[in-house]
Amino acid sequence: MPTAEEWANAIEKEGFGLKIDTSYEEEANSDGFYGFRPCKYYDLEDVGYELDILLRMENLEDFEDWYEMFPKVKQYDSAVIFGVYSEYDAYAAMVAGCVLAKNSGGIYFDLDEPVDLNELCLQCKDIDHKLKTNIG
C-alpha cells in the first residue's frame, strides 16, 4: 500500500484531473483508516468517497469471504474499499481505485465481480476526458 502522497502523485502522473485527500494517514486510529474523503475533480468540489483500508490481520473474516471469489486475494495484506453517494463520487473512486490497483500490483473488483485493469483504465480515461471537456 503506497502512502497517501504517493497515491495522489500516481493519479497525477497518470494524467487524471482528480485530486484526492491525503490527510487520512495523519488521522489513523486503532481501527485503521476510514471515513469520508473529500476530493476535487477538475472544477467539481462536492466530490468524495468513503475510504476504508482493511488490514488482513484485523479483518480475517472479510478476507476469507473474498478468497472464494478471488483466490489471488490470499497474497495481499490489505484491501481498500470505497463507498460512494453520487455519480461523480463513483468516478473519483474508480480513478483512485484503478490507479491504486495498477501501481500496487493489486486487483480491482466491483460488486463481487473482477474488473480487468486495462479495461478499467480505458473507462477512467474516457470519464476523465468527458469531465475535463464538460466541466474543467
Joined together, the cell numbers standing for residue 84 give 460512494
64/45 Cα distance (integer angstroms): 37
| pLDDT tens sequence across 51-102 | 888 888 888 888 888 887 788 888 888 888 899 999 999 999 999 999 999 9
- Count CB neighbours of 57 within 10 A: 9
Q: Inform me whether the pLDDT recorded for 30 exceeds 70.
A: no
Angle at 109 between CA 104 and CA 110, to 5 degrees: 135
Average pLDDT over residues 37-46: 89
Position 122 scores a pLDDT of 95
125/16 Cα distance (integer angstroms): 7
Position 84 scores a pLDDT of 93
